């Protein structure tokens, strides 16, 4: 089968799913180690109660990556989201969690944005790790974090279950954005190769840590121009999607739409590091709006 035929099949499957399900989706942007802000966003979405239990029923929540770095409560966030995934599924809903650039940076052991609290929070994991040359190359206080997030580590294995790109009900969710080159490489191939790498089973896509990565680009979220919008339209057409939702770039005025509302930028600086402006994006059928 040709690549074009496969894309048509993908578009038809998306259309069929959209026709059969007209539920409510809420997208949540970058969390950056702020547990209280994470709770605020999920409560605003109608997903959890005061005891952090899923009350969303068939609600679908998509978190677009960057749970890690810049804050001290990352481990609690990872555990909370992991538990809520199970509770949401049991209730007939879903919680989808994406990998952003900061998750992949940690797996690459690029730890420049980790706080001292962020290192301390994973320190106990060093005791369970073999003291090999990679661990010993890092100072003792950092070894637990390295053991947790290096490919094959317990947190890296958790991240391996999460996609880089999710296409749901005619909406593309991705931390930074998708370019035509990414479609040429293959969206499912990106997800699979990143997952395999996080499990310690091979190399990720060659561009995944570069500025051209789906987790790094800002073409649709910063100084967006007509050329960017034309490129976005071509990507969406090829995927048979209506819109793209991205995080990654803090929007000073809150959730912002560009390109005739075909891309929604939802990183509003939820975390305390960026000012704790909590907003989420609601997609309810054809209606898309920021909450509150």
- Evaluate whether residue 196 is within a structural domain: yes
What is the pLDDT averaged over residues 58-82?
98
- Identify the CATH number of the domain in which residue 54 sits: 3.60.21.10
pLDDT at 37 over 70: yes
Q: Is 90 exceeded by the pLDDT of residue 12?
A: no
* Mean pLDDT (whole number) for 105-111: 98
Asked whether the beta carbons of 266 and 260 are under 8 A apart, the reply is no
The mean pLDDT of 268-287, rounded to a whole number, is 97
Q: How far is CA 90 from CA 19, 38, 78, in A?
A: 23, 21, 19
Q: Encode 196-230: b = buried (16+ Cβ within 10 Å), e = exposed.
A: ebbbeeeebbebbbeeebbbbbbbbbeebeeebbe
pLDDT of 130: 85
Domain range holding 88?
A: 3-100+163-291
Residues near 155 by beta carbon (within 8 Å), at least 6 away in sequence: 78, 106, 122, 148, 149
pLDDT tier for residue 22 given thresholds of 50, 70 and 90: low
Task: Report residue 72's pLDDT band, with 50, 70 and 90 as the boundaries.
Answer: very high
- Determine, yes or no, domain membership for 252: yes
124 pLDDT exceeds 90? yes
56 is a domain residue: yes
| Domain count of the fold of the chain | 1
111 in any annotated domain: no
Indicate whether 113 belongs to any domain: no
Asked whether residue 57 is assigned to any structural domain, the reply reads yes
Mean pLDDT over 253-262 rounds to 98
Question: How far apart are alpha carbons 52 and 36 in whole angstroms?
Answer: 11
Average pLDDT, integer, range 230-240: 98
Average pLDDT over residues 144-159: 98
- Residue 220: CA atoms inside 13 Å, Cβ hemisphere, count? 36
| CA 200 from centroid of its chain's CA atoms | 20
Q: Are 38 and 31 in contact (CB under 8 A)?
A: yes
pLDDT of residue 184: 98
- Whether residue 219 is predicted with pLDDT greater than 60 in this model: the reply is yes
**Mean pLDDT throughout 29-49?**
98
Q: Which residues contact 253 (CB under 8 A, 6 or more apart)?
A: none
Clarify whether 102 is annotated catalytic. yes
- Report how far residue 210's alpha carbon sits from residue 182's, in angstroms, rounded to the nearest whole number: 13
The structure tokens 């950092």 sit at 142
Looking at every residue in the chain, the average pLDDT score rounds to: 93
Q: Which tokens is 132 given?
A: 């090999």
What distance, in Å, lies between the first and last C-alpha atoms of the chain? 46
Give the model confidence (pLDDT) of 180-215 as tens digits.
Answer: 999 999 999 999 999 999 999 999 999 999 999 999
Catalytic residue among 96, 102, 248, 273: 102
Residue 23 is predicted with a pLDDT of: 87
Residue with tokens 């947790």: 148
Task: Assess if residue 120 is contained within a domain.
Answer: no
In a domain, 142, yes or no: no
């Amino acid at each position: 089968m040709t690549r074009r035929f496969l894309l048509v099949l993908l578009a038809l499957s998306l259309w069929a799913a959209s026709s059969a399900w007209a539920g409510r989706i809420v997208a949540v942007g970058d969390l950056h180690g702020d547990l209280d802000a994470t709770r605020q966003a999920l409560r605003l979405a109608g997903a959890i109660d005061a005891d952090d239990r899923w009350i969303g029923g068939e609600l679908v929540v998509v978190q677009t990556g960057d749970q890690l770095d810049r804050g001290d409560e990352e481990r609690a966030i990872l555990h909370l989201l992991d538990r809520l995934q199970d509770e949401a599924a049991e209730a007939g809903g879903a919680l989808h969690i994406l990998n952003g650039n900061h998750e992949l940076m940690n797996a690459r052991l690029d730890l420049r944005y980790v706080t001292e609290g962020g290192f301390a929070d994973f320190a106990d994991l060093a005791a369970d790790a073999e003291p090999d040359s990679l661990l010993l190359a890092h100072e003792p206080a950092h070894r637990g974090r390295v053991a947790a997030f290096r490919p094959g580590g317990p947190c890296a294995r958790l991240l391996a279950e999460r996609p880089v790109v999710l296409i749901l009900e005619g909406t593309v969710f991705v931390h930074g954005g998708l370019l035509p080159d990414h479609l040429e490489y293959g969206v499912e191939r990106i997800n699979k190769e990143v997952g395999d790498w996080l499990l310690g089973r091979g190399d990720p896509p060659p561009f995944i840590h570069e500025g051209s990565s789906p987790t790094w680009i800002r073409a649709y979220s910063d100084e967006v121009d007509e050329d960017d919008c034309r490129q976005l339209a071509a990507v969406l057409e090829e995927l048979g999607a209506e819109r793209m939702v991205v995080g990654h770039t803090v929007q000073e005025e809150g959730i912002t739409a560009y390109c005739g509302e075909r891309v929604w930028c939802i990183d509003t600086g939820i975390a305390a590091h960026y000012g704790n402006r909590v907003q989420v994006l609601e997609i309810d059928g054809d209606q898309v709006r920021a909450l509150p």
